[in-house]
Structure 1
């Protein structure tokens, strides 16, 4: 379970060895909710809320992640126990790998899987949209050509082909979002990706969802003993969690699928959005709609993965452990992301 504290004046503390959440209400008597610590994976605080030191201590004792998020959902900081996820050997190998051909192989794998996920999503759109199948087939074909070009790239160091990879990824992304826009109801259509701020409601939902996903990817990396700051394709940027931006690529489809479902089912309306300077943002109701839908997609729905039925969140954690093991064993990447 993930807890989101997004109501002004909320107070989180401990009572009877359980978390107690007090939420202000209009008549002055706060609403209270008690939750056992073992049922919680993450507590996200995104607005003016308070928590006690006892609540922090209980979270640390139960490996509950406390995340402080910006208004757009992107993580600003977190309270996490002081132990590494595993031995420092993993982080040493990660740094070594970033300087050679291993970075090339892993980067091509992750970006390739991202593009394949996008193609597969468009293939799924064809099932109920036969009148525009030619349009969709054209997009798929062009994106498959980009994927082939990516696979054919060869280099000993990622710096030698980084710009080419970004170009292929960017072109695939443009084709992909053009397709999503084309098939959405007219009232929801948008003009390409826009970030910080979003220019439309679809991008506002995407941006907030990606913010949630960033924090989850950072956590699975740390649990696996990996360094969120040592990236392969995204690298050398001061104080940037470069590996988070690398490793997240195959999983962006989780957010995109969730958001597309909400819009195609016409569950989003003007009541979920508020205007800000030069753009729009999700309000409290919009955040609740997205958080509940994305949590269900990641934590509740199950998929068949490596011979077991499990949640996408668990599968993502397994991928992080597998990545760490491949680094230690010098085995190189093997396909297997969702």
Structure 2
């Protein structure tokens, strides 16, 4: 396997970022080819995901083979928007439970997810402040909003307080990464390398969570606090909030803190994409204490999905997980 090839197989993820390659079914294997030869040949039982963020030749029988082995195939465009091909197997019983959640249950679930996300944001700022000593005001204002989140009476009120936390959180990041032309958080049409990096890894995380939900017979379309429709995977948008900070943000902001080789004028080219994807895969293997056991982030996400399903179908209490990162 050539070291210069701009694709990676890391932790059972096939990531292709070099244009012009071909992905074909080769017997019971999936082969990556260039114009001259086969670069790599992988059996699908070794793969958890295929991620493609460039223009390649893709045979339809690869899609069918990936579906047989329950491998999501995710395409990410230049805007860092993603489409994932993965067959839904959500049960009608679970779907009915999702659709019939009471307003009280929906609010409690939303509160736990948003509270967890905001605590992660505060803890990350606390960690940064240990070294820079300039963000006490941000921490105090985030904490004030956390108290308001706990007593919120509606999802609209909850989302307003979440927005307040986000302003103080990204205020720190703008202060630290303005040299990369990072002036605010942009979810779409990002022009700076920081926002593009965040959106890129969020797309990969999104695809992973979507697969976990489908594997657990949850419908990705029926959300808790994001708007339901037949185009958006609203429940994925909900659940991803719990993991954004310690799965993606810490990877992106941590890397740019120690990577002067990426200039502010750079777009998110193949090389940083490959690096970020590798760091993301490695991050999923980092371990934290969860229910008195040391588990990887990958394992924790799976357990949290199961907790969420129980909360939806059995009306059990849901508790978000926020690790010690400060």
TM-score, normalised to structure 1's length?
0.85
Correspondence 1:200-215 to 2 at 5 A: 200-215=192-207
RMSD of Structure 2 on Structure 1 (CA): 2.2
The equivalent of 1:64 in structure 2 is 71
The equivalent of 1:187 in structure 2 is 179
Change in 2 beyond 3 A, CA 1:335/1:54: closer
The equivalent of 2:302 in structure 1 is 317
Change in 2 beyond 3 A, CA 1:272/1:228: farther
Change in 2 beyond 3 A, CA 1:153/1:81: closer
Greater relative CO (CA pairs within 8 A, separation 6+): 2
Q: 1:125-153 CA deviation, whole Å, 9 max, x = no partner?
A: 13322xxx2x3222111101101001012
Confirm whether residue 262 of structure 1 aligns to residue 278 of structure 2.
Answer: no
Q: Which runs of 5+ in 1 are unaligned?
A: 155-160, 275-281
The equivalent of 2:152 in structure 1 is 153
2:31 aligned counterpart, secondary structure:
strand
Correspondence 1:112-191 to 2 at 5 A: 112-129=115-132, 133=133, 135-154=134-153, 161-184=154-177, 187-188=179-180, 190-191=182-183
> How many residue pairs align between the two structures?
311
The equivalent of 1:95 in structure 2 is 99
Change in 2 beyond 3 A, CA 1:222/1:267: farther
Q: 1:236-256 CA deviation, whole Å, 9 max, x = no partner?
A: 445222111111111111111
Q: Distance in 1 between matches of 2:212 and 2:156?
A: 28
Change in 2 beyond 3 A, CA 1:268/1:177: farther
Q: Distance in 2 between matches of 1:33 and 1:166?
A: 47
Confirm whether residue 295 of structure 1 aligns to residue 281 of structure 2.
Answer: yes
Task: Answer with 39-48 or 10-19: which moved more.
Answer: 10-19
The equivalent of 1:157 in structure 2 is none
Correspondence 1:217-228 to 2 at 5 A: 217-228=209-220
